[in-house]
Amino acid sequence: MRLTERIRYVGVNDMKTDLFERQWPLPYGVSYNSYLVVGEKVALIDTAAAGFSDELLANIRSEIGDRAVDYLVVNHMEPDHSALQVVIREQYPDCEIVTNAKAASMIEGYHGITDNVKVIKEGESLPLGGVSLQFFMVPMVHWPETMVSWCPEENTLFSGDAFGTFKAVGETINDSKSGTFEEYKDEMTRYYASIVGKYGGPVQAALKKLGGLEIKRICATHGPVWENSIPEVIALYDRLSRYDADHGVCLAFGSMYGNTRQAAMALAEAIRQRGIPCAVHDLTAENYSFALADVFKYDTVIIGSPTYNAGIFPPARLFMQGILDRTVKGRKFMAFGSFTWAAASVKLLNEMAEAAGFEILGEGLTFKQGYTEAKFDAQALAALV
């Protein structure tokens, strides 16, 4: 698709992969976005994941025919964007790879390519004849070698994983259809929470660095090309990277035999009766990335876990560790759960939350053996939220 005469989309949709990074579900697929910048010379911005070489090459030929790709710009070396570098060099032997020093060493490590690699520095430009690219380093968004490419003649930012989202793109590629941002917002939040969430500080630094650019188009490596929703997209990334959140509850639980589950349902109902949004996640039935997204959305986290092997039930522990791994800040926290002969899960969850600097909403509630309303005062706990 031609975004403009000089900017062409040549990416691909992946509707076959079940788990992104072998971890995160893709119920709506994902796109691997690649772009051509066409002047007197042609630059290809990033490639795609392994297994999509035929589609990528066909898309390139459909836009430029028999013309050569003169440059391959590597913004980010994660293999979902960079797996086809050898394929591009085989198809276009004179193609020069343009990247930064940290990425160049990764290119050698992944692909064994050391020849015809142009190493650029912060702010350096690449003239293409009638159009150009300028490069800015945005380390740890979300790998140390990450950079973005800026086309000043088209006011277009090739942003790498920044502003990306799960979910394959439609035929229009961009957000020209009304409601596109709302359509992708949840999957963008889940993508950020799962992939980028640890790096709020670097994202804030990148937003500040790029804040002076008059951006009219954002070409990320996943999801739609943003043209009509740029303020909303940037505002969402700004908010997520500051760990800002609405008042509401992410209530996630693991349950072996149904007692902690009953307590979770009672507590969720009591919270909703108070008019507070409450998203409920069964950690034994769904991937915890969906709950992580709501940790970034809401200011209160409640985790239910039975005691298991004198510790936290593994699905709940994995989720709690995932929150800590992403250095989430400024959350309120509560724990609850059942036990049979020795209570430990609530105490251990509170200790993890304290280590994260969360505000603990009371000591939580542990109940012995089977669930009953008398053992679990959901209304009293809801009053703490």
3-state secondary structure 200-229: HHHHHHHHHHHCCCCCCEEEECCCCEECCC
pTM above 0.85, yes or no: yes
Tell me the domain boundaries of the chain. 7-241, 246-382
| Integer Cα distance of 135 and 145 in angstroms | 12
Six token digits for residue 101: 């020093």
What pLDDT does 1 receive? 86
3-state secondary structure of 71: strand
Q: What are the tens digits of pLDDT across the range 297-324?
A: 999 999 999 999 999 999 999 999 999 9
2 φψ region: left (φ > 0), alpha (ψ -120 to 50), beta (else) = beta
Angle at 120 between CA 230 and CA 145, to 5 degrees: 65
Residues 2, 210: Cα–Cα separation, whole Å: 25
Mode of pairing for the β-strands spanning 24-25 and 125-127: unpaired
Q: What gap in Å lies between CA 112 and CA 276, rounded to an integer? A: 55
pLDDT at residue 257 in the model? 97
CA dist 160 and 146 (Å) reads 8
Nearest-5° angle of CA 113, CA 13, CA 187? 105
Of 201, 85, 91, 32, residue with least CA distance to 99:
85
The CATH class that applies to domain 7-241 reads alpha beta
Q: Which pLDDT does position 94 carry in this prediction?
A: 97
Write the DSSP assignment of 271-339 as a string of letters: HHHTT--EEEEETTTS-THHHHHHHHHEEEEEEE--EETTEE-HHHHHHHHHHHHTT--S-EEEEEEEE
pLDDT in tens, the chain (385 residues): 899 999 999 999 999 999 999 999 999 999 999 999 999 999 999 999 999 999 999 999 999 999 999 999 999 999 999 999 999 999 999 999 999 999 999 999 999 999 999 999 999 999 999 999 999 999 999 999 999 999 999 999 999 999 999 999 998 999 999 999 999 999 999 999 999 999 999 999 999 999 999 999 999 999 999 999 999 999 999 999 999 999 999 999 999 999 999 999 999 999 999 999 999 999 999 999 999 999 999 999 999 999 999 999 999 999 999 999 999 999 999 999 999 999 999 999 999 999 999 999 999 999 999 999 999 999 999 999 9
The Cα–Cα gap between 336 and 1 comes to 52
Decide if 229 contacts 175 (C-beta within 8 A): yes
Task: Report residue 21 as tokens.
Answer: 């990074």
- What is the 3-state composition of the chain as percent helix, strand, coil, each rounded to the nearest 5? 35, 25, 40
Identify the pLDDT of residue 338. 97
**What is residue 95's three-state secondary structure?**
coil
Burial call 42-60: b when 16+ CB within 10 Å, e when fewer: bbbbbbbbeebbebbbebb
> The domain 246-382 belongs to what CATH superfamily?
Flavodoxin domain (3.40.50.360)
